[in-house]
Structures are given as structure tokens and as C-alpha cells.
């Protein structure tokens, strides 16, 4: 099993990636719209194939990345049949399972935070993703979207606390940075839902939470009822650069592949940030490249035109990744790193000036 927990600091939302390490088929639980690129980069770097995005519910505080990821990877969108959402590929009911490779998650209906809340339980019951039905030492609010404290109480007791005591629990949010819990822990220590707490106590607690509505609620709920499809569908192309086929790594670096740079070298400024001895050394340098060692990049940046695209180069692509970030921070909009640097360039037998075989 491949398992990753990802975080959105804006809404304190967790996204989970699960993949079968044998077949590489993967699913994402609760992707966030603004992080579709980050999640996509991780999917590509891990070499997994996204087959599903699953929602634990129709979120009120952020927009799902399901539609964006479907556009990019062809992943199918699934959420509860009681969600009221349109545009999904599958509407899930209690007891069904969602298969990825040789693994699967079991669907458990856990309404109460919203009417269409689901908990996903890994096939071996070692992990469960509770969405906002159960948070660490807390739970989702019950005051909108068909929320109902009585239903939430029953959902948690019957569908989550019936899992093995050792089952790890991964929530939809945590507002304090806590990452995981377990059934045993929550049954003992959850202040609202521990075994010792009665249904009446819980309902009383939830009736007096007094939380303001989520700031993004008016935007998020309608967008999530469309599974994250924007009203105008050009959002992804607008946010992606149009000057080159850029890709963004999970590390957050905009990259270009050597082939494209070789074919388009006349249209870009190639800045080689190695030391002079490396520039004239055995790897050689790209024709037309300008030598500007990393240590001098900021003080000599006026030598780089702002209106022309910039490609940063070094030996392995590491120093030039830093140079890409530095120039971006200095206000250069069209700047990318040459993936793999001169080593990959030479490995692909692309032309150089100087250098030795
Ligand atoms: N301040 C947050 C509030 C988020 C919120 O209300 N979250 C819901 C989950 S969608 C919740 O149940 N929160 C429980 C809590 O804050 O205790 C925002 O504006 O987004
Ligand atoms: Fe929620």
C-alpha cells in the first residue's frame, strides 16, 4: 500500500492518497481544487494511476479538486447517493466498495454532519477515513446541510466505533494540526462521543457549538454540488502558463523537458548558473546560454530581460531549481528549470558547445 496524507492550510482539510503498490492504481479522498496541481505532481512522481476521487461529503469550506483531476487523469468521481450532487460517475451507498487495483475501500454511510456523509474503510480495516463525521477528539458540526446531531451520534457509534480498536482514523479536517487517531483512543477520550457520553449529552453539546458559518460556504457548496466543475470551464488553462509545456513538481518547481528546450532555444533566454570552470568544463554548455553563476544571480539580474522567457540550467537541475525560485520571487513571470540539468541534456545526446565526449 502507498499512503499519503496531504494538507490544505487554508481550510485545514486533509486529502488522502491510497494506491495499490502492485498495480499502481490509486484513489484520492477529498482533493482540494487549489491543490489539484500539487496532487497531480505527486501522482506522477509516485508513478501511480488515479482511478477514483472520492468525496466524504459535499464540503462547505473548500471546493473539491475532483473535476480538475478528472480532466487531467480521467479519474472517476464518486460520492454519496444522498449528497444531492450532480456530475459524479458513481453514487455510493452503504456497504458498497470502491476497488483500486487489488485493494478496496468499504463505504459506510455516516450521516449527521451532512445528510450525505460517508466514511471509507480500507479493506483490511487498518485505516478509516471519517470525513467530518468524526474529527480527532471532536466531530463535524450539525447545524447545516441536513446536519442532525442524533444521526451523527448513531453514525459514529454504529459505523466507526464498531471498527477494530486498533483501526487508525484519519479525519477530513484538523484545526490544530493533529494528523491521526484510533478507534480505541476516540472511544476513550473523545469529549463529545466517547463510550461514556450519552446521546442526550452529545445533542446538547452540538446544539450549543455557536460556530460562525464557514467563510467560503456560499461559493463552496454550489461548486461541490457540481463536483468542482467551474461554471466557466476554462479555469485550468487560465492558471497554467501558455509560453511552454511547463510541469510543476511536487517540490513546487516549474520545469521544462530538455527536448522542448533544445527545439525552442532561440525563443528563450538560457541562463547557466554553474561556476565558470563548469561552464567551460567537460559537460559543455547549451549553445547561446549565458553564464551567470548562482552567487551573482540577484546582483546581476538586470542582465536578464523580464519580457522574454527564461530557462535556468545547472549540472543536475538542483542549483537551477533554486535559481528558478529566486528569479520568480524577483518578479520574473516566465521562468522555468531545465529538468535534470546538463547531465540529462548530455544523456539525451542534445547538442552542446565545448565539452568532451
Ligand atoms: N472557520 C472555518 C470553519 C470551518 C467549519 O465550520 N468546518 C466544519 C467542517 S466543514 C466543522 O464541522 N467544523 C467543526 C469545528 O470547527 O469544530 C471556515 O470558515 O472555513
Ligand atoms: Fe464538512
Q: Is residue 228 part of a domain?
A: no
> Are both 35 and 154 inside the same structural domain?
yes
Does residue 69 form part of some domain?
yes
Q: Of 64, 175, 177, which is best to mutate to test ligand 1, by the most ligand atoms within 8 angstroms of its C-beta?
A: 175
- 86 falls within a domain: yes
Q: Would 260 be classed as within a structural domain?
A: yes
List Cβ neighbours of 44 (8 Å cut-off, separation of 6 or more).
247
Q: Say if CB 134 and CB 193 are below 8 A apart.
A: yes
Same structural domain, 93 and 125: yes
Neighbours of ion ligand 2 (CB under 5 A): 132
The pLDDT value given to residue 235? 55
Q: What values do phi and psi take at 97, rounded to 5?
A: -130, 155
Q: How far is CA 246 from the centre of its chain?
A: 18
Residue 227 lies in a domain: no
Does the beta carbon of 8 sit less than 6 angstroms from any atom of ligand 1?
no
pLDDT block averages, 10 residues each, the chain of length 357: 98 98 98 98 98 98 98 98 98 98 98 98 98 98 96 98 98 98 98 97 95 96 98 64 92 97 97 98 97 98 96 98 97 97 98 93
Q: Are residues 173 and 253 in the same domain?
A: no
How confident is the model at residue 233, as a pLDDT? 73
Does residue 354 fall inside a structural domain?
Answer: no
Instruction: Answer yes or no: do 158 and 270 share one domain.
Output: no
**CATH number for the domain harbouring residue 309:** 3.40.250.10
Residues 202 and 98 in one domain: yes
Number of domains in the chain: 2
Q: Is 213 touching ligand 1 by the criterion CB < 6 Å? A: no
Q: Tell the residue nearest (CA) to atom 9 of ligand 1.
A: 140
3-state SS, residue 247: strand
Ligand 1 pocket check for 277: Cβ under 6 Å: no
Q: What angle do helix axes 66-73 and 36-46 make, rounded to 10 degrees?
A: 40
Q: Which domain holds residue 167?
A: 2-218
Q: Cell numbers 546581476 label which residue?
A: 300
Q: What is the CATH number of the domain that holds 120?
A: 3.60.15.10
Decide the pairing of beta strands 290-291 and 269-272: parallel
Closest CA to 129 of 17, 207, 232, 209: 17
Measure the CA–CA gap between 61 and 59, rounded to whole angstroms: 6
- Our answer on whether the CB atom of 53 is closer than 6 Å to any ligand 1 atom is no
Query: Does the C-beta of 172 come closer than 6 Å to ligand 1?
Result: no
pLDDT for the residue numbered 238: 47
Q: Burial-class residue 143 by CB neighbours within 10 Å (0-12, 13-18, 19+).
A: middle
Q: How many CA atoms lie within 13 A of 317 on its CB side?
A: 18
**Prediction pTM value:** 0.94
Q: Quickly list H helices, 158-215.
A: 183-189, 199-207
What long-range pairs does 37-41 form, CB within 8 A, spacing at least 24? 37/248, 38/6, 38/248, 38/250, 38/252, 39/6, 39/15, 39/65, 39/69, 40/69, 40/72, 40/73, 41/247, 41/248, 41/249, 41/250
Q: Is the torsion defined by CA of 196, 132, 163, 110 positive or negative?
A: positive
Indicate whether residue 215 lines ligand 1 (CB < 6 A). Answer: yes
Ligand 1 in reach of 211 Cβ (< 6 A): yes
What is the β-pairing status of strands 103-109 and 97-100?
Answer: antiparallel
CA of 62 from ligand 2 middle (Å) equals 9
Amino acid at each position: 500500500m502507498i499512503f499519503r496524507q496531504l494538507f490544505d492550510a487554508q481550510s485545514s482539510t486533509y486529502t488522502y492518497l491510497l494506491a495499490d503498490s502492485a498495480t499502481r492504481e490509486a484513489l484520492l479522498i477529498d482533493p482540494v481544487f487549489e491543490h489539484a496541481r500539487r496532487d497531480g505532481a505527486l501522482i506522477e512522481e509516485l508513478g501511480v494511476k488515479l482511478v477514483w476521487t472520492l468525496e466524504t461529503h459535499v464540503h462547505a469550506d473548500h471546493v473539491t479538486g475532483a473535476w480538475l483531476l478528472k480532466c487531467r487523469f480521467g479519474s472517476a468521481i464518486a460520492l454519496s447517493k444522498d449528497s444531492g450532487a450532480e456530475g459524479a460517475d458513481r453514487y455510493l451507498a452503504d456497504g458498497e466498495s470502491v476497488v483500486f487495483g487489488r485493494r478496496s475501500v468499504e463505504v459506510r454511510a455516516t450521516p449527521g454532519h451532512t445528510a450525505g456523509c460517508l466514511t471509507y474503510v480500507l479493506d483490511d480495516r487498518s485505516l478509516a477515513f471519517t470525513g467530518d463525521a468524526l474529527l480527532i477528539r471532536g466531530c463535524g458540526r450539525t447545524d447545516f446541510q441536513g446536519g442532525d446531531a442524533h444521526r451523527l451520534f448513531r453514525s459514529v457509534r454504529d459505523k466507526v466505533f464498531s471498527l477494530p480498536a486498533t483501526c487508525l482514523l484519519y479525519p477530513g479536517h484538523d484545526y490544530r494540526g493533529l494528523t491521526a487517531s484510533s478507534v480505541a483512543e476516540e472511544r476513550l477520550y473523545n469529549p463529545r462521543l466517547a463510550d461514556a457520553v450519552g446521546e442526550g449529552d452529545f445533542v446538547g453539546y452540538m446544539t450549543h457549538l455557536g460556530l460562525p458559518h464557514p467563510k467560503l460556504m456560499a461559493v463552496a457548496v454550489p461548486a461541490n454540488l457540481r463536483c468542482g466543475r467551474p461554471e466557466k470551464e476554462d479555469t485550468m488553462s487560465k492558471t497554467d502558463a501558455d509560453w511552454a509545456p511547463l510541469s510543476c513538481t511536487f517540490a513546487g518547481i516549474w520545469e521544462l523537458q530538455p527536448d522542448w528546450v533544445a527545439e525552442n532555444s532561440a525563443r528563450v533566454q538560457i541562463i547557466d548558473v554553474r561556476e565558470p570552470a563548469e561552464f567551460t568544463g567537460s559537460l559543455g554548455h547549451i549553445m547561446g546560454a549565458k553564464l551567470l553563476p548562482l552567487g551573482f544571480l540577484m546582483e546581476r539580474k538586470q542582465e536578464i530581460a523580464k519580457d522574454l522567457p527564461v530557462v535556468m540550467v545547472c549540472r543536475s537541475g538542483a542549483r537551477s531549481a533554486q535559481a528558478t525560485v529566486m528569479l520568480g520571487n524577483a518578479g520574473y513571470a516566465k521562468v522555468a528549470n531545465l529538468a535534470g540539468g546538463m547531465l540529462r541534456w548530455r544523456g539525451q545526446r542534445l547538442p552542446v558547445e565545448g565539452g568532451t565526449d
